[in-house]
C-alpha cells in the first residue's frame, strides 16, 4: 500500500481507533478570525458526520481577544451547505494559552511561524504542534496519532508551504 493511500480509521487496530475517535484538537492561525476558524468548523463537521468525538478549539498566535471572524470567512462558511446550521456569528477570537496546548492531543498550525510560536512560547507542547500541510503531506497513515504527530513535529516547518492570511 502506498503511504499516500487513505486508510479508514475503521481499519486501525482497536486501541488506535479509540485514540483517533476521541481526539482533542487545537487549530491555530494568526488572528483566529479566518484559517483556524474555517478548519475548526470543517473538522467539527467531519467528526459529527462520522460519529467521532473530537473536541475542537480554535486560537491565534497574535489574536485580538473577542473579535468576530472576518467577513470573508463568514461569507465562505455560510455558503458551505455541508457545514450545516452552526451559529457562525457567535465565534470570538482568542489567543492560544498554555492550557490549550496542555489539553490538546494535536495543534494544527496554519503556517511555519505558528509552529515556531508554539515551540518558543509553549515548549512543553512542541511535540504536539505540526504545520497542517506538512502533516498531511508527510505523516504516515498508520500508527497512533500521537506517534504520527510526534514524528512530523520533529521536522522543521517548511516556509515554502506557508499561505498569507487573506483575512
CA angle in degrees (0–180, nearest 5) for 90-24-17: 130
Phi, psi at 45, each rounded to 5°: -65, -45
Residue 4 belongs to some domain of the structure: no
Residue 97 belongs to some domain of the structure: yes
Residue 82 belongs to some domain of the structure: yes
Range of the domain at 21: 11-156
Least confident of 18-32, 66-80, 98-112: 18-32
Q: What is the mean pLDDT of the chain?
A: 79
Least confident of 2-6, 48-52, 135-139: 2-6
Residue 1 belongs to some domain of the structure: no
**CATH number for the domain including 95?**
3.40.50.2300
Is the pLDDT at 75 greater than 70? The verdict is yes
Residue 164 belongs to some domain of the structure: no
pLDDT tens-digit profile of 78-88? 888 888 778 88
Residue 34 belongs to some domain of the structure: yes
The predicted model scores a pTM of: 0.74
Here the cell at position 24 is: 482533542
pLDDT tens-digit profile of 32-48? 999 999 999 988 988 88
Nearest-angstrom CA–CA distance, 84 and 112: 31
Least confident of 11-25, 38-52, 67-81, 116-130: 11-25
Distances (CA, A) of 146 to 34, 54, 70, 105, 139: 26, 15, 32, 7, 11
Residue 101 belongs to some domain of the structure: yes
Structural domains counted in the chain: 1
Q: Which residue has the higher pLDDT, 16 or 31?
A: 31
Least confident of 11-20, 121-130, 133-142: 11-20
Phi, psi at 157, each rounded to 5°: -60, 145
Residue 162 belongs to some domain of the structure: no
Amino acid at each position: 500500500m502506498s503511504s499516500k493511500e487513505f486508510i479508514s480509521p475503521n481499519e486501525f487496530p482497536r486501541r488506535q481507533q479509540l485514540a483517533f475517535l476521541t481526539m482533542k484538537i487545537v487549530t491555530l492561525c494568526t488572528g483566529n478570525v479566518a484559517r483556524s476558524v474555517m478548519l475548526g468548523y470543517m473538522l467539527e463537521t467531519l467528526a459529527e458526520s462520522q460519529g467521532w468525538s473530537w473536541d475542537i478549539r480554535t486560537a491565534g498566535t497574535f489574536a485580538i481577544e473577542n473579535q468576530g471572524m472576518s467577513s470573508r470567512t463568514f461569507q465562505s462558511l455560510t455558503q458551505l451547505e455541508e457545514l450545516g446550521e452552526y451559529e457562525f456569528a457567535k465565534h470570538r477570537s482568542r489567543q492560544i494559552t498554555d492550557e490549550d496546548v496542555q489539553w490538546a492531543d494535536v495543534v494544527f498550525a496554519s503556517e511555519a511561524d505558528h509552529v515556531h510560536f508554539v515551540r518558543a512560547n509553549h515548549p512543553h507542547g512542541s511535540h504536539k504542534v505540526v504545520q497542517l500541510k506538512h502533516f498531511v503531506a508527510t505523516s504516515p497513515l498508520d500508527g497512533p496519532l500521537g506517534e504520527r504527530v510526534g514524528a512530523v513535529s520533529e521536522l522543521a516547518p517548511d516556509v515554502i508551504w506557508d499561505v498569507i492570511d487573506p483575512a
